[in-house]
Structure 1
């Protein structure tokens, strides 16, 4: 980088400023910002570092005029009850888009099927999005997927559970994560374990529940129906489920809630009943949203790679990999990301 370049923090940074700081042409900087594969990795890193240092923001209007791209990425979701997950994914996608000189357009798709289709059509027609990220359960809506295909709009699905060969997707192994979390509770001496299922429209809910059941059965432990309650991934549904589980004559000694919002609700109900968490009741959740470490005790949970899933989704759409995709190469763009069990204060070894 040139040592003579002076940075004026009050002036609006231009592409020329970035080029001078790195010692390359404006064309090279432009190629880096547009993810041109012809630029070397060494130069790409230098340009990205300089752009970050100078807080450079590309002129979206000018870039749109100079190319066929809109520099907009759409994010569509359907289940506002899982607020922590959606918010965390949205913020991570927003940061990833900014880093690449794109804008993120977020829309909630609720209502009837016709209303959902209209939202998608309006998004495509009004913003000319370069690609769309579909969160669950919206990612399983085959009519919506067909609409995007007819409009020639590339899309990435997040954690789909139908027609997996239809498109690229990113996910994590919900079944295995739930299996391992259940084994953690069993290893802590728990045998009477309650479970709160997630939203019935979400494929992840079924996978997490199955992982729990199989872990219990692998240790020949019974799962009484009274220890299972249906939730909706919302705090309120967690309250209702926890009240039912903890109203039993033989209460479970541990409860596995299918997300952190419902786990937090379990802790609230336990406190209201005079039960100490984790001494009287161990509680675990799923996702590792900020809520998990906001309340006390901090929740033992599955750290879902939400930020990495958002980053991967944006990267695939902005790099043009999905644009060039044909059906035979869909399998090359399926990403199963790693999870992590985060042990905190809401679980304790059960004393017999």
Structure 2
């Protein structure tokens, strides 16, 4: 095999990886004499290095010897509370396996910006990427990741292909459990605030809530749209409270919207939980920061992000379910009448 040397520009580790059909991490291991490379792959990479005249950057070699490979994190989530959980978990996981974490903002719904965000991570030497919602279900982002040959772990979304690892809770089961809890307390008219429509978790949580409602005669689920932001929760809460048959409980699809619903209850001159119980989903720091504290579903976001970083660093793990937990706080009580 003969490789053009590309005169006029210096080859990078990414160039060598593309020519050899391997990851930049594999090239790094070959350059640094790591034994974790198959002999055939090592021979192929070394041949391309010779033919291109590639000379490793000394600083990059120092990082590689220190075990400082790179993984990326894309983010386009409007919830600061959710992002904080993802960041803390990803940083801890990357550090535990000796990786550097590159963080890149993206723009969900803007395909060109999504593609450029992935390209920036790849150009920065990331060998893998953590993809939180909503980007894990964006075709533009997933196509760009596939083209880059980076390994990816998507959070809170199903795996769109066999090449992806998915870490997610059972959204249907978790929402069913929370709604059943409200029904068991005696609530029969329950408001439900949807999340973003480009995330499958939104409809999964609605389906879980509706399934629990369908099991109880006379129970009603009043559904209002939201987009996982505080403001959308506030507006949806106001619409629910204006219904002729006012709900005695509101289930918001994340904690940001639940906090907004709490504010809507207070703005209407009502109180939680005496007049209207409010529950959320995720158990971010926000759930324990508002008053009253939110009863919510704990989706272990930080632990999922940590696990994702370790998977990217060590490999050897496929998609699998993540356990959820219902956390009871002061925002729920039986209906007052």
Q: What TM-score do the two structures reach when normalised by structure 1?
A: 0.75
> Does 2:210 correspond to 1:213?
yes
What corresponds to 1:314 in structure 2? 309
Residue 131 of structure 2, aligned match among 121, 131, 134 = 134
- After superposition, give the CA deviation of every residue in 1:273-306 in whole Å (9 maximum; x if it has no partner): 2211101111100100111111111000001111
Q: 1:78 to 1:283 in 2, by over 3 A?
A: same
CA distance in 2, matches of 1:215, 1:63: 57
Alignment of 1:266-345 (within 5 A): 266-321=261-316, 333-345=318-330
What corresponds to 2:75 in structure 1? 77
- After superposition, give the CA deviation of every residue in 1:43-85 in whole Å (9 maximum; x if it has no partner): xxxxxxxxxxxxxxxxx95655556986221011223x22211
Residues 67 and 99, structure 2, Cα contact 8 Å, conserved in 1:
no
TM-fit CA distance, 1:215: 0.7
Alignment of 1:222-241 (within 5 A): 222-223=219-220, 227-241=222-236
Residues 275 and 336, structure 2, Cα contact 8 Å, conserved in 1:
no
Residue 144 of structure 1, aligned match among 141, 146, 153 = 141
Q: 1:142 to 1:67 in 2, by over 3 A?
A: farther
TM-fit CA distance, 1:248: 1.9
For structure 2, the residue ranges without an aligned partner over 5 or more in a row are 1-31, 37-57
Q: 1:62 to 1:107 in 2, by over 3 A?
A: closer
Residue 169 of structure 1, aligned match among 166, 170, 187 = 166
What corresponds to 2:42 in structure 1? none
Q: What TM-score do the two structures reach when normalised by structure 2?
A: 0.78
What corresponds to 1:349 in structure 2? 334
CA distance in 1, matches of 2:85, 2:142: 24
Residue 260 of structure 2, aligned match among 256, 262, 265 = 265
CA distance in 2, matches of 1:176, 1:147: 32
Alignment of 1:105-144 (within 5 A): 105-110=102-107, 112-125=110-123, 127-144=124-141
What corresponds to 1:54 in structure 2? none
CA distance in 2, matches of 1:197, 1:309: 23
Q: 1:100 to 1:165 in 2, by over 3 A?
A: closer
- After superposition, give the CA deviation of every residue in 1:116-175 in whole Å (9 maximum; x if it has no partner): 1122112211x1102101112211223432332332211111122363544221111111
For structure 1, the residue ranges without an aligned partner over 5 or more in a row are 1-33, 39-59, 322-331
CA distance in 1, matches of 2:80, 2:159: 23
CA distance in 2, matches of 1:141, 1:280: 40
TM-fit CA distance, 1:249: 2.6
Secondary structure of the 1:244 match is: helix
What's the RMSD between the two structures over aligned residues? 2.5
Secondary structure of the 2:220 match is: coil
CA distance in 2, matches of 1:161, 1:133: 14
